[in-house]
Amino acid sequence: MWALVRARPAPIRGCLRLQRSLHLSSICFNRGAPENLVDRLATGGDSRADVEAKRQAQMAKYGEKLKAKVKEHGLENIDELASKIREAESKEKEARRKATQDKVSAIEKRDEELRRRLNEKRKKEEAKKLKAEEEGKASPVKPLSSFMNMDKMLQESPESIGKLWTGYHMMRNKISAVIPARTYLQMIETAKKFPQFVLPLPRTTTNEEGVEEVGYEIQYMQWMFLPAPKTTSANAPPPAAVLFTPLAEYKLRQEYAQPSLVLSHYTDLIESKGLVLLRGEITESSPEDGSDAKPSLSQSDAQILTMCLQRFYHIDWALEGLDNDEQTEKRRALLRTFYEKPTDFKLESLVHLALST
């Protein structure tokens, strides 16, 4: 038993030595393979001699053509041809770069010219505006002298001037009024405290059932104090204009909104005749469909707004709490509320106080 058991391991050890020997020899055999493999991959599977042979064949194939090109350009060898080709490519590249640079320079020059022109235009407009202000013509309102002979007016009595003024505008279907100097001074005192306000215009609409309903269009109004004409005394109060604009239009365009009505107050005669002349101008709106321009307001609308203006601004604030006029006190309070507590401003109160007698 023991002899048999001991005899068996010998062949196993021999096998192990044989396998180890084969394994090591295999490793040694494969050591040179990578160099051959790299050479073959680098040459597309061909030997170096094959690669050289192919190169020579290519040179022989195109040699005649290259020689012809060399001769055509009057050169001595291929190297000069290659140098000339590189030089031509360099010149072409430089030409493209210069063309791009010239294009950019042209754009920059155009932009600089545009900036110069805009700057010149701005300077001219500023100079024009400054000159107009110096001459007292910056006002958007026509001066009184543009449609009345002031020398003749100065020779008339206040009563005659009033009749001439209202008659002149009545024939032209325009709003006008003659305001006593004291009343105008009260007005501008109120206007300086409350230069903006809103006033209602009644509007009648028909609902789906064919029933007429009365609503109101709110007009935003703003006082503007204008440069005094040169002929007016330095002590005279400034002329003023009141601009009316639909509130929706004003919210949309702000200072660019077009007024629907302008009430101009002329103070040229306030010292010599003790009166201020009022003139109303209804502006025309251009429909989007390209049709003819139409008046923004009717004549009756302009009269209502002028009447409402009087009710809120022909107020003597020195009599506040003393005149015992309940409606007047409520109008004073509503003007204050519009500025001091706008959240408490009630449209119902505005309609009542503006349109009720």
Helix orientation angle between 299-313 and 347-355, rounded to the nearest 10 degrees: 100
Structure tokens at 142: 């026509």
What sign for the dihedral angle of Cα 5, 10, 11, 12? positive
Name which of 23-32, 49-58, 192-201 the model is least confident about.
23-32
43 vs 32, 39, 46, 58, CA distance in Å?
A: 18, 6, 5, 16
Pairwise pLDDT comparison (4 vs 88), residue with the higher score: 88
What does pLDDT average to over the chain? 79
Pairwise pLDDT comparison (83 vs 231), residue with the higher score: 83
Return the pLDDT at 130. 66
With 60 as the cut, is the pLDDT of residue 177 above it?
A: yes
Return the pLDDT at 133. 56
With 90 as the cut, is the pLDDT of residue 179 above it?
A: yes
254: phi > 0 → left, psi -120 to 50 → alpha, else beta; which? left
Helix/strand/coil (H/E/C) assignment for every residue in 198-254: EEEEEEEEECCCCCEEEEEEEEEEEEEECCCCCCCCCCCCCCEEEEEEEHHHHHHHH
Pairwise pLDDT comparison (330 vs 113), residue with the higher score: 330
List, in sequence order, every residue forming a beta bridge with 262; answer none if it has no partner: 243, 281
Q: Reduced to 3 states, what is the DSSP secondary structure of residue 308?
A: helix
Structure tokens at 216: 């109101």
Q: Reduced to 3 states, what is the DSSP secondary structure of residue 78?
A: helix
With 60 as the cut, is the pLDDT of residue 44 above it?
A: no
Closest by CA position to 252, among listed 281, 296, 283, 220: 220
Rounded to whole angstroms, how far apart are CA atoms 277 and 176? Answer: 7
Return the pLDDT at 16. 40
- The radius of gyration computed from the CA coordinates of the chain, to the nearest angstrom, equals 50
Q: What does the pLDDT look like over 274-328, one tens digit per residue?
A: 999 999 999 887 655 556 667 889 999 999 999 999 999 998 888 888 877 899 9
Helix (H) / strand (E) containing 294: strand 294-295
Q: Whole-prediction pTM value?
A: 0.59
Residue with tokens 């050479």: 39
Return the pLDDT at 15. 41
Phi, psi of 199 (to 5 degrees): -135, 150
Closest by CA position to 220, among listed 186, 264, 176, 257: 257
Return the pLDDT at 226. 87
Return the pLDDT at 229. 72
Helix (H) / strand (E) containing 101: helix 78-134
Q: What does the pLDDT look like over 254-275, one tens digit per residue?
A: 878 889 999 999 999 998 999 9
Return the pLDDT at 141. 67
Classify residue 319 by burial, with Cβ atoms within 10 Å: 0-12, 13-18, 19+.
middle
CB atoms within 10 A of CB 283: 16
Return the pLDDT at 7. 43
Rounded to whole angstroms, how far apart are CA atoms 137 and 70? Answer: 84
Q: What does the pLDDT look like over 119-167, one tens digit per residue?
A: 888 888 777 766 665 554 445 567 788 878 888 888 999 999 999 999 9
